[in-house]
Amino acid sequence: MDKVKEIRNNFPDTTEVSLESCGLSSLDDVLNVLGELVNLRVLRLSNNRLTKLPTDMSRLSKVEYLDLTGNHFDSIDDILPGLCSLPMLKHLDITMAEADEDELIINLANLLTFNGTPLTDIPDQKYEYNEESVSPIKATDEKDSVQNPMFIEVNDSDFDSSRKLFEATQLYLGLRESFVHHTADVVSELKQRTKTETDPIRYHNEVTNANRIIFDRCFESIIAQVSRNDKKLASIMMILKNSYSGLLEDSYNFMDQSIQEFGKRVRSMQKDLDGADQEIGQLLEAAEALQQTASDSESAKRKILVGWEKEREQLGEEIGFLKNELEKYKNRLTQFQLNKQKIATQITTSPSKILKSVSPSNNSFKISQLTINTNTKSLTLRQLKDTIEEIYASKQKFDEKCSENKLPRETMEQYLYTFLNQKYGLKNLILEYASSIIQGVKRYSHEDNDVAVFGKIIRNEIDEEFRFVQKQLKETVSELLKVFLRGKYAKKLDSEISAMHQQRMNGELNEEEWVDIVKYMYNKEDSLNIIMKVTEAVQAIQTKLNRGNSRISSPSKSIGVSNKIPFKIFMKVLLTYQLRGHEQFLYKFVKLFRQVDSDKNGVLSESEFKQLLATINPNRTETEYNQWLNYVDPWNNQQITFSECVTFLSAELLKLVNEKTSQGTNESDAIEEQEEYDFESNANEEM
């Protein structure tokens, strides 16, 4: 950088700058200073550490010659933009891979020479550069003679030195022989050998050899005269003449051979150059073809863009419509996600506070328009649970289709008949299977939590999504049991742990196992309540077994001593506790819902839904009512189910629970007695 500034300050009009071997790794710092040298035409940057050039070097507007040899450019993309920005660049020397050199030549169309090789058929101007001037100096007519060969003729001046020696010899010998006559044979031979000569070097070599012959003749005449008086001196002079003559003859022969070898090389290089010119021509033709292809591609691209614009306008209209629909769904989706999060965390909610404050209604919805036939075929518990799972799966698909077609959802009671109608079709069969299902629900609700949940969903006492909470509870207990076993038996293999896990789920849990699971899942207060209920369940089973015959006394003793409990009974306690907590959570809302549900079918109209909102929170405005309606009933179907209300009003339900809890009511004891599972009735079966 300092060197460049020194040149700018001391030689502002210089036409050449050499920064060779300066250790430059970038031109960014020196480019602006070089741009101030307005007459700069030659820039030498060889043997530096440059790996790329600035993309814009247009400030060097007059640079015609650029030397970049000895630098390490990995990619042509690192230098091509900068070289293309030099408007006057005509001569470039650079070290690149051969493939990259061809690409450079194609892209730099203004180049006259590349690495010293002419790129056009026009006679090249030979450039000589120095510190004083870098103006292009045309080579002598020697270059023109190559382009337009002219034969060289023998000239008298070629023999000036020989003529002087001949005249001196004649004077010494006292003779007056003519030089032309004396050298006629030599000149004739020279003319014969050079009559078609165009190479000045070869011609000069032949002239030198002719002069040598004339010199020898002159020396021989002098030696002959000297030998008359001094034989010894004549002998020495003859040796001297032969030595110099031999040297000149050897030089002539060497020059002749060198010229011939040089000619061969020149012809070979010319052949290579012609081949390179042909390749360059082919490359230029290929470049023109590529340019035409690019032009055609650009035309095709414009046509595609026109078509795309039309399609974009059409899509814009569709997007506008979809945006309107999206706005309707966005808030509803947000509320749904909040409710989903509530359901996912419901399992860790402490039901104990709720149990102390509220109790469920003693009244429940009855299955509409259904007369129970006591002679109806009874379903086993397994058949009933399979039917319930089939109904759940079918309703989930049915709800998805309703959402896609903008149709209202059905309650579980309504869908029960839809399901049976799709499956059986005949009214008698529908009523018969409906009666069987209802009877099964009444019969097995105290035995199986899944059946109890289904019955409460049909009676609109809990929402449909609660079944997923119970499912999550089962999965959580199973995973915690596996974690406990893996921690206790750390040295056992995974296969052994899995076998033990399966054995526990099909058999009994040790006290430390089920107590650890309860304490992990619930807070201290809920854990104490659940442990008490599990203990009561164990005692109930023990009491039932003690009433039986002595054949089952052994397992009874095992249960009583070690506090082991069948896994199924343990799960019943947890599921019952969770169901009761959720039922209390919805207790007050169920009462309010039934007050506004004029048809008692678990479905509200728009006016009934507004009435429900007003009952829950009378401080709402009409705008807020309409917003809630857009969330719950975006398609204005005038049918909002009980489960949808629970889903979209989850935040309001929490407020209701808090209000009820603050009142400190003692209705939870009644629900405990009413909803307590009959653990004794199936003790033998579970054991």
> 511 versus 349: which is more confidently predicted?
511
Percentage of residues in the chain with pLDDT exceeding 70? 81
Instruction: Give the residue-averaged pLDDT of 543-562.
Output: 55
- Give the model's pLDDT for residue 586: 93
**Residue range 609-647, pLDDT digits in tens:** 999 999 988 888 888 888 888 889 899 999 999 999 999
Q: Name the pTM for this structure.
A: 0.47
Among 85-94, 248-257, 317-326, 523-532, where is mean pLDDT lowest?
A: 317-326
Instruction: Give the residue-averaged pLDDT of 496-518.
Output: 94
Instruction: Give the residue-averaged pLDDT of 147-167.
Output: 75
Percentage of residues in the chain with pLDDT exceeding 90? 33
Q: Is 80 exceeded by the pLDDT of residue 595? A: yes
- The chain-wide mean pLDDT, for the chain, equals 80
**Residue range 159-176, pLDDT digits in tens:** 888 888 888 888 888 887
Instruction: Give the residue-averaged pLDDT of 308-323.
Output: 75
Of 351, 259, 603, give the one whose Cα is nearest residue 460. 603
- Give the model's pLDDT for residue 139: 40
- Give the model's pLDDT for residue 410: 95
For residue 536, the one-letter residue type is E
- Residue 93, sorted as left (phi over 0), alpha (psi -120 to 50) or beta, turns out to be beta
- Give the model's pLDDT for residue 667: 47
- Give the model's pLDDT for residue 175: 80
Q: Which element (helix H / strand E) includes 280?
A: helix 231-345
Q: Is 80 exceeded by the pLDDT of residue 672? A: no
Q: Which of the given ranges, 35-39, 189-193, 395-399, has the highest pLDDT on average?
A: 395-399
- Give the model's pLDDT for residue 322: 63
Among 232-246, 482-496, 639-653, where is mean pLDDT lowest?
A: 232-246
**Interior/surface letters 591-612, b for 16+ CB within 10 angstroms, e for the rest:** eebbebbeeebbbbbbebbbbb
**Residue range 475-493, pLDDT digits in tens:** 999 999 999 999 999 899 9
Q: Is 60 exceeded by the pLDDT of residue 24? A: yes
> 358 versus 20: which is more confidently predicted?
20
Helix (H, G, I), strand (E, B) or coil at 427: helix
What are the residue boundaries of the structural domains of the chain, listed by start? Answer: 2-147, 156-342, 349-365+460-687
Helix (H, G, I), strand (E, B) or coil at 641: strand
Q: What's the first-to-final CA gap in the chain, in angstroms?
A: 94
Q: Is 80 exceeded by the pLDDT of residue 356? A: no
The CATH superfamily label for domain 2-147 reads Ribonuclease Inhibitor (3.80.10.10)
Q: Is 60 exceeded by the pLDDT of residue 550? A: no
- State the burial class of residue 130 (Cβ atoms within 10 Å of its Cβ: 0-12, 13-18, 19+): exposed
Q: Is 90 exceeded by the pLDDT of residue 136? A: no
Instruction: Give the residue-averaged pLDDT of 460-482.
Output: 94
pLDDT confidence band for 340 (50 / 70 / 90)? very low
Percentage helix, strand, coil, to 5, in the chain?
65, 5, 30
**Nearby residues of 441 by Cβ (< 8 Å), 6 or more positions away:** 384, 451, 454, 455, 458
pLDDT confidence band for 560 (50 / 70 / 90)? very low
Give me the residue label for tokens 């909803």.
Answer: 675
If you write DSSP's letter for every residue of 300-362 in order, what string do you get?
Answer: HHHHHHHHHHHHHHHHHHHHHHHHHHHHHHHHHHHHHHHHHHHHHHGGGS--HHHHTT----S
- Give the model's pLDDT for residue 119: 79
- Give the model's pLDDT for residue 548: 65
